[in-house]
């Protein structure tokens, strides 16, 4: 049996695809008319329509990035930007249509909820189809809803924060996002409220040639705390596919936010996502990221430490197999006194896959007394895979403690022999070593996600046998 066939079989569990089944699909390509139509469809206020049109202008004025992986294969005119599923917003699992439910069932959403997660906002194609939240959170004033609803019901908060953290001028795909964004989550945690169970959103792409442009806006007000989990897994298609989501996080003074992500995109995806957090005084922002799948990924979550004593941590892992180029990393701007950042980035590459850790650490002149410690480690499973580190360190004050450490490793034959002498097959031995390598990340995830991540690692590794 050939290698690719085995890979196909192994991905079956996650590559669940429903028949195309939507009542509305946009014309290919982007025009002002399309944007207007989209806005009308969504029943949006005028200001949002104007915002979209302005973003479209910016999109047209910007060039594709000239650095990083080659994305010329991506034909923007070929992407249907808006796909709406048949179902309307549901608050009960029972109301979710059968075929959509089946897909989600296989992804374990009801189970996750059973395990007392606070709420489930699941995005199917571009709209949130399933959404619920625990009563007690509502009583505490926590708002957790889909982005469209937030635009209509909380216009003031949304207007004040929407694409202010990530401005449309950032890069071409952010501008595109601003023009065509659809779906996503909105969370507001009021001052002093500690949400002690993780909130999760689950979305996936399920339509050929459609982009996914979900927008996540989270505001954790002063002294509040939240753990938000975003998980996604996409079915496989032969056509080029684009994901250009946007995540904006506001962590106000003395607040705490952990944002955990497991991404598992199909191997034809261009994952060009933008995530940024603005962190206030004494506040803490933690990123936990597992990046799997996709053809090309350019993903650099960013923390802007704007208040004194603000802290951020990034813990992430990328796994690149055959034909994948994952250009991931982390960016941090220290912009106030005594701020700190701690980065623990890992990557695994196999079968010729490429992982690049691209990072920025910027310490501005007014960030005296700050600390930054970056450690990146890559594991290569064979001789044809590639791993690279491209750090940019822009340190504008002397009063800092800064360290950067990079390690590249391989699985040694000695270690494999040792494990095989304990009864493990060669594949089991490799898988154990890789899971161990990923453990510093998986231990940060809630247990069901850690299990899913280990399953993904096993699936990726099994693809190598053949």
Partner 1 sequence: MSEKLLEIKDLYVSAGEKEILKGMNLSIGKGEVHVIMGPNGSGKTTTANAIFNHPEYQKIKGSISLEGEDITNSKTDEIARKGVFMSFQLPEEIPGVSVTNFLKYAKNKITGKNVKIFEFKNELQKNMDELGIPKEAVDRSLNVGFSGGEKKKNEILQMLMLNPKLAILDETDSGLDVDAIRTVSKGIQMYKNENNAVLIITHNTKILKSLKVDYVHILVDGKIVKTGSAALATEIENEGYAKYKG
Give residues in contact with partner 1 (CB under 8 A).
Answer: 412-415, 417-426, 428-429, 432-433, 435-440
In the complex with partner 1, which residue's Cβ is closer, 62 or 411? 411
Helix (H) or strand (E) holding 349: strand 340-349
Q: CB of residue 421 vs partner 1: minimum separation in angstroms?
A: 5
In the complex with partner 1, which residue's Cβ is closer, 374 or 419? 419
In the complex with partner 1, which residue's Cβ is closer, 368 or 440? 440
Under a CB-based contact definition with an 8 Å cutoff, are residues 364 and 394 in contact?
A: no
- Residue 455: C-alpha distances to residues 120, 180, 263 (Å): 22, 34, 13
Q: CB of residue 401 vs partner 1: minimum separation in angstroms?
A: 24
Residues 6+ apart with CB under 8 A from 6: 462, 463, 465, 466
Query: How many CA atoms are closer than 13 Å to the CA of 334, on its beta-carbon side?
Result: 32
Q: CB of residue 409 vs partner 1: minimum separation in angstroms?
A: 10
CA 134 to chain centre: 24
Q: CB of residue 430 vs partner 1: minimum separation in angstroms?
A: 12
In the complex with partner 1, which residue's Cβ is closer, 6 or 432? 432
- Residue 48: C-alpha distances to residues 45, 53, 153, 163, 302 (Å): 6, 9, 13, 11, 25
Structure tokens at 441: 């990340």
In the complex with partner 1, which residue's Cβ is closer, 450 or 464? 450
In the complex with partner 1, which residue's Cβ is closer, 292 or 437? 437
R_g (Cα) of the chain, nearest Å: 21
Supply the DSSP symbol for 20: P
Q: CB of residue 5 vs partner 1: minimum separation in angstroms?
A: 25
51: left (phi over 0), alpha (psi -120 to 50) or beta: alpha
Q: CB of residue 329 vs partner 1: minimum separation in angstroms?
A: 22
Q: CB of residue 439 vs partner 1: minimum separation in angstroms?
A: 3
CA-CA distance, 121 to 132, in Å (whole number)?
Answer: 7
Structure tokens at 392: 């940019």
Query: Contacts from 237-240 at CB under 8 Å and sequence distance 24+?
Result: 237/17, 237/208, 237/209, 237/266, 237/268, 238/268, 239/78, 239/208, 239/209, 239/268, 240/73, 240/74, 240/75, 240/78, 240/79, 240/209, 240/268, 240/270
In DSSP notation, 36-60 reads HHHHHHTT--HHHHHHHHHHHHHHH
Q: CB of residue 380 vs partner 1: minimum separation in angstroms?
A: 16
Structure tokens at 172: 């071409």
Q: CB of residue 42 vs partner 1: minimum separation in angstroms?
A: 45
Tell me which residue of 276, 359, 263 sits closest to 318, measured CA to CA: 263
Q: CB of residue 457 vs partner 1: minimum separation in angstroms?
A: 12
CA-CA distance, 304 to 311, in Å (whole number)?
Answer: 10
Supply the DSSP symbol for 343: E
In the complex with partner 1, which residue's Cβ is closer, 47 or 417? 417
Helix (H) or strand (E) holding 276: strand 274-279
Tell me which residue of 223, 360, 345, 333 sits closest to 278, measured CA to CA: 333
In the complex with partner 1, which residue's Cβ is closer, 238 or 423? 423
Q: CB of residue 346 vs partner 1: minimum separation in angstroms?
A: 10
CA-CA distance, 203 to 361, in Å (whole number)?
Answer: 31
In the complex with partner 1, which residue's Cβ is closer, 262 or 283? 262
Q: CB of residue 148 vs partner 1: minimum separation in angstroms?
A: 42
């Amino acid at each position: 049996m050939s290698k690719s066939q085995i890979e196909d079989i192994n991905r079956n569990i996650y590559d669940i695809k429903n028949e195309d089944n939507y009542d509305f699909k946009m014309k290919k390509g982007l025009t002002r008319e399309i944007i207007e139509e989209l806005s009308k469809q969504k029943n949006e206020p005028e200001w949002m329509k104007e915002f979209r049109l302005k973003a479209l202008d910016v999109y047209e004025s910007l060039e594709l990035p000239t650095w990083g992986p080659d994305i010329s294969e991506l034909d923007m005119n070929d992407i249907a930007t808006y796909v709406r599923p048949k179902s309307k917003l549901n608050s009960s699992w029972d109301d979710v249509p059968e075929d959509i439910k089946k897909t989600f069932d296989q992804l374990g959403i009801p189970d996750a909820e059973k395990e007392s997660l606070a709420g489930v906002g699941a995005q199917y194609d571009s709209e949130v189809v399933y959404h619920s939240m625990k009563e007690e959170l509502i009583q505490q004033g926590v708002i957790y809803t889909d982005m469209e609803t937030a635009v209509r019901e909380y216009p003031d908060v949304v207007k004040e924060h929407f694409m202010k953290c990530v401005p449309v001028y950032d890069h071409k795909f952010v501008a595109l996002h601003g023009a065509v964004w659809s779906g996503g989550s909105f969370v507001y945690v009021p001052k002093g409220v500690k949400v002690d169970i993780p909130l999760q959103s689950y979305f996936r792409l399920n339509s050929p040639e459609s982009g996914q442009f979900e927008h996540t806006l989270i505001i954790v007000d002063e002294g509040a705390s939240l753990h938000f989990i975003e998980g996604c897994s996409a079915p496989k298609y032969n056509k080029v596919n684009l994901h250009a989501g946007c995540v904006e996080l506001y962590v106000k003074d003395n607040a705490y936010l952990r944002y955990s992500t497991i991404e598992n995109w199909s191997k034809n995806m261009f994952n060009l996502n933008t995530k940024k957090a603005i962190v206030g005084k004494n506040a803490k922002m933690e990123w936990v990221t597992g990046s799997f799948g996709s053809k090309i990924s350019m993903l650099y979550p960013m923390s802007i430490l704007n208040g004194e004593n603000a802290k951020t941590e990034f813990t992430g892992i990328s796994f690149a197999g055959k034909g994948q180029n994952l250009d991931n990393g982390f960016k941090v701007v220290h912009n106030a006194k005594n701020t700190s950042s701690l980065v623990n980035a890992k990557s695994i590459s196999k079968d010729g896959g490429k992982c690049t850790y691209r990072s920025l650490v910027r310490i501005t002149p007014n960030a005296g007394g700050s600390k930054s410690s970056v450690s990146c480690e890559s594991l290569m499973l064979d001789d044809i895979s590639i791993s690279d580190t491209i750090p940019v360190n822009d340190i504008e004050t002397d009063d800092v403690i800064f360290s950067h450490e990079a390690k590249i490793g391989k699985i040694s034959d000695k270690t494999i022999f040792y494990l095989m002498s304990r009864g493990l097959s060669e594949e089991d031995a490799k898988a154990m070593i890789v899971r161990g390598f990923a453990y510093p990340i998986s231990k940060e995830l809630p247990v069901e996600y850690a299990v899913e991540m280990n399953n993904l690692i096993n699936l990726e590794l099994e693809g190598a046998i053949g």
